[in-house]
Amino acid sequence: MAPSFLTNTPIRLLNIIRRVLYLPRLFSRRELFLLIALLLVFLGSGSTLLGSFIMRHTVSAPKSGGAYREGSLREPKLINPIYLSNNDTDRDIAALIFSSMLFYDSEGVVQQDLAEAFSISDDGKVYTITLHKDAVWHDGEPLTAEDVLFTIKAIQNPEYKSPLRANFQGVTVEQTDDHTIEFTLKQPYSPFIDNLTVGILPKHIWEQIPPANTLSEFNIKPVGSGKYEFSKYKQSEGSITYYELVYNKKYYRQKPFIRTVAFSFYPDERELANAYKRGEIDAMRSVTRAQEDMLDPSPDLVLYRLDFPRMFAVFLNANKNTAFSDAKVRQALHSGIDRKKLLEILDEDARIIDVPLPSSIITADHVTETAFDEEAAKALLEKAGWKDYDANGFREKKEGIGKKETITPLAIHLVTSNLPELERVATFIKEYWGRLGAEVTVETWPLAELESQILRPRNYDALLFGEVYNHNPDPFAFWHSSQIRDPGLNIAMYSNRKADTLLEEARRSTDPELRKKKYEEFQKIVADDFGALFLWTPQYAYAARNTIYGINLKSVVFPSERFNEIETWYIKTRRAWVGNDAAE
């Protein structure tokens, strides 16, 4: 027989329900409304207190998910890390798909990627890399030292025609075990560490493909070991219009929060800006001033302005134009350009520069800025013997006496690439030098032809061009006298024994502070000599919607380096208790 309290329970519940239902009859309508209002206030206060408690004891934290969508003007063509493509889209995608032994973070500090450990010998000649043992390729194959060895040997092989070949010339590469590889240099070379940021190719795929086969499908659908892997692309009329990556579930380090990275391609800057306004994309790279105007006002847009280790200058060839042998002429041409006005016609924000190395690399506090002073520039030319003898508006120089007298016009042939920005700058310089009494002609060339027809044979009077430096700058190739002839890159045709010695000592030193001191001395010598007419160093502008969190960018060498720490970016968020791990 069941206990009485069990048999009586239904009856008791029924009585309680009857009393609750009868309760409203005990109050007037006004009292009932007041009671309900008090009850709602109580419940609302409770939920508010609960919400306030949760907000005080939790923080917003990243959550896995979401898609990052970026717009670009150029479709991918050759996504392969051993080819330094001029197409920034190729570099961007390669940076996401391929891993490197080392990489630089947003502070410019070397970090380990594939390398689980690395060391440099005391004499600075041997670099030893120990690879992460959990690293695998996107197709599941293990990544070993054989892949690194294959990649470097491919770069060194002239049949591959890799632009990186010079970086590894004279370097001996040896695999000591499955996960360790050694690089041995003939001489200490401190900037060599930058070369270890190259993306690594899978040997099991590329050993089956003939060298320099740029038409291989693996150059557009690559297999890498990086944070993201190829998913798909879409084409229209033979051109790629959309390219998608998904996160690598097998990635050996912190997996990215953002699950999908997609690139869409547009025909011009206006279409790109309109795509952002329509919500089709969330980010754009290499944002120009014109694009900024098109996007304004966009309250959800965050613009990141990054230091860029590049500089532009006019390089003078005294072998072609003897007027440039005189330091007074070089100084006059420099101070005769209003560089503050020049900055206004550039595509991007920039700063004036008076030295070979941008301030993002080495400060130039010890060098006096060349101020614009047209009258002082004219006086320098007069002092150097350049005068307008025939009153035709252009200066000449007389040398010799009587029948041996020669008259040389101050004529300058300025050459540059046919990039619209450089064409505008060349026209600007022509105008200012014309005011000084120089007869200036401007010639522009496509970049490839400029290199073969003008740069390599040093076939120019004056050359408007730029130079790019890496994280560890090595101005040797650009400024040492041994590099004046092709394939050297001393397009300034600069020669100074003291400067040569400083460059040689700096590249051999493993002491960062000593190298910095050497480069400061070198810069002062070049600036005092007016070894080139330094103009500006650009800033890189990257735009992203404010719904993309975790972006921490300060400086880059190549635009693709903005993705070096993409694993910290996120779109989705959640609340996490304070003191607990905020990352999902």
CB 120 within 8 A of CB 127: yes
Instruction: Inform me whether the pLDDT recorded for 387 exceeds 50.
Output: yes
Instruction: Tell me what pLDDT residue 5 has.
Output: 45
Instruction: Inform me whether the pLDDT recorded for 547 exceeds 60.
Output: yes
Q: Are 292 and 321 contained in the same domain?
A: no
Instruction: Inform me whether the pLDDT recorded for 154 exceeds 90.
Output: yes
Per-position DSSP letters for 326-361, written without gaps between them: SHHHHHHHHHTS-HHHHHTTSSS-EEE--SSS-TTT
Q: Are 481 and 374 contained in the same domain?
A: yes
Instruction: Tell me what pLDDT residue 339 has.
Output: 97
Instruction: Tell me what pLDDT residue 536 has.
Output: 96
Axis crossing angle, helix 327-335 with helix 374-383, rounded to the nearest 10? 160
Convert 382-426 into a string of H (helix), E (strand) and C (coil): HHCCCECCCCCCCCEEEECCHHHCEEEECEEEEEEECCHHHHHHH
Instruction: Tell me what pLDDT residue 80 has.
Output: 96
CATH number at residue 76: 3.40.190.10
CB 200 within 8 A of CB 98: yes
Q: What is the DSSP letter of 472?
A: S
CA distance 263 to 285: 11
CB 79 within 8 A of CB 263: no
Q: Are 447 and 492 contained in the same domain?
A: yes
Least confident of 24-33, 202-211, 225-234, 438-447: 24-33
pLDDT, tens digit (0-9, with 9 covering 90-100), for 400-411? 887 788 899 999
Across 231-254, average pLDDT: 96
Q: What is the DSSP letter of 362?
A: S
Instruction: Inform me whether the pLDDT recorded for 31 exceeds 80.
Output: no
Residue type, 282: D
H or E element, residue 560: none
Instruction: Tell me what pLDDT residue 579 has.
Output: 62
Q: Are 117 and 253 contained in the same domain?
A: yes
- Kindly compute the dihedral angle of the four CA atoms of residues 435, 436, 437, 440, in this order, to the nearest 10 degrees: -70
CB 286 within 8 A of CB 89: no
Phi and psi angles of residue 461, each rounded to the nearest 5 degrees, phi first: -80, -60
Which is it for the CA torsion 337, 342, 343, 344, positive or negative?
Answer: positive
Instruction: Inform me whether the pLDDT recorded for 254 exceeds 90.
Output: yes
pLDDT, tens digit (0-9, with 9 covering 90-100), for 280-324? 999 999 899 889 889 887 889 999 998 888 999 999 999 999 999
Which letter, b or e, does each residue of 368-386 get, where b requires 16 or more Cβ atoms within 10 Å of its Cβ?
A: eebebeeeebbebbeebbb
Instruction: Tell me what pLDDT residue 107 has.
Output: 86
Nearest to 345 by CA among 445, 269, 422, 285: 422
Domain that holds residue 155: 67-300+546-577
Convert 92-120 into a string of H (helix), E (strand) and C (coil): HHHHHHCCECEEECCCCCEEECCEEEEEE
Q: Are 552 and 426 contained in the same domain?
A: no
Across 435-463, average pLDDT: 95
Instruction: Inform me whether the pLDDT recorded for 145 exceeds 60.
Output: yes
Q: Are 244 and 196 contained in the same domain?
A: yes
CB 325 within 8 A of CB 318: yes
Residue 410 lies in a domain: yes
Question: Residue 538 contacts by C-beta under 8 Å, 6 or more apart in sequence?
Answer: 308, 310, 312, 346, 348, 349, 350
Across 85-89, average pLDDT: 83
Least confident of 82-91, 92-101, 143-152: 82-91
Residue 8 lies in a domain: no
Residue 25 lies in a domain: no
Residue 208 lies in a domain: yes
Q: Are 570 and 497 contained in the same domain?
A: no
Instruction: Inform me whether the pLDDT recorded for 365 exceeds 80.
Output: no
Mean pLDDT of the chain: 90
CA distance 574 to 582: 9
Confidence of residue 130 (pLDDT cuts 50, 70, 90): very high
Instruction: Tell me what pLDDT residue 69 has.
Output: 98
Q: Are 532 and 550 contained in the same domain?
A: no
Which is it for the CA torsion 165, 169, 171, 177, positive or negative?
Answer: positive
Q: Which residue has the tokens 């009857």?
A: 18
Residue 157 lies in a domain: yes
Confidence of residue 21 (pLDDT cuts 50, 70, 90): low
Q: What is the DSSP letter of 223?
A: -
Q: Is 400 left (phi over 0), alpha (psi -120 to 50) or beta?
A: left
CA distance 224 to 247: 12
Q: Are 505 and 379 contained in the same domain?
A: yes
Question: Residue 279 contacts by C-beta under 8 Å, 6 or more apart in sequence?
Answer: none
Instruction: Inform me whether the pLDDT recorded for 52 exceeds 70.
Output: no
Q: Which of 61-65, 67-71, 207-211 has the highest mean pLDDT?
A: 67-71
Q: Are 244 and 355 contained in the same domain?
A: no
Task: Tell me how crowded residue 538 is: count the other CB atoms within 10 A of its CB.
Answer: 22
CA distance 285 to 403: 62
Confidence of residue 554 (pLDDT cuts 50, 70, 90): confident
Nearest to 473 by CA among 381, 363, 338, 322: 363
Instruction: Tell me what pLDDT residue 6 has.
Output: 47
Q: What percent of the chain has pLDDT over 90?
A: 72
Residue type, 301: L
Burial of 230 (C-beta count, 10 Å sphere; 0-12/13-18/19+) = buried
Across 18-34, average pLDDT: 62
CB 339 within 8 A of CB 493: no
Q: What percent of the chain has pLDDT over 70?
A: 89
Residue 170 lies in a domain: yes
pTM over 0.85, yes/no: no
Tokens representing 208 are 């089956």
The structural domain count of the chain equals 2
Residue 12 lies in a domain: no
CATH number at residue 375: 3.10.105.10
Across 105-134, average pLDDT: 95
Q: Are 437 and 517 contained in the same domain?
A: yes
Q: Are 146 and 242 contained in the same domain?
A: yes
Residue 443 lies in a domain: yes
Question: Residue 23 contacts by C-beta under 8 Å, 6 or more apart in sequence?
Answer: none
Least confident of 10-19, 353-362, 568-577: 10-19
Instruction: Tell me what pLDDT residue 28 has.
Output: 63
Confidence of residue 175 (pLDDT cuts 50, 70, 90): very high
pLDDT, tens digit (0-9, with 9 covering 90-100), for 266-278? 999 999 999 999 9
Residue 230, SS3?
Answer: strand
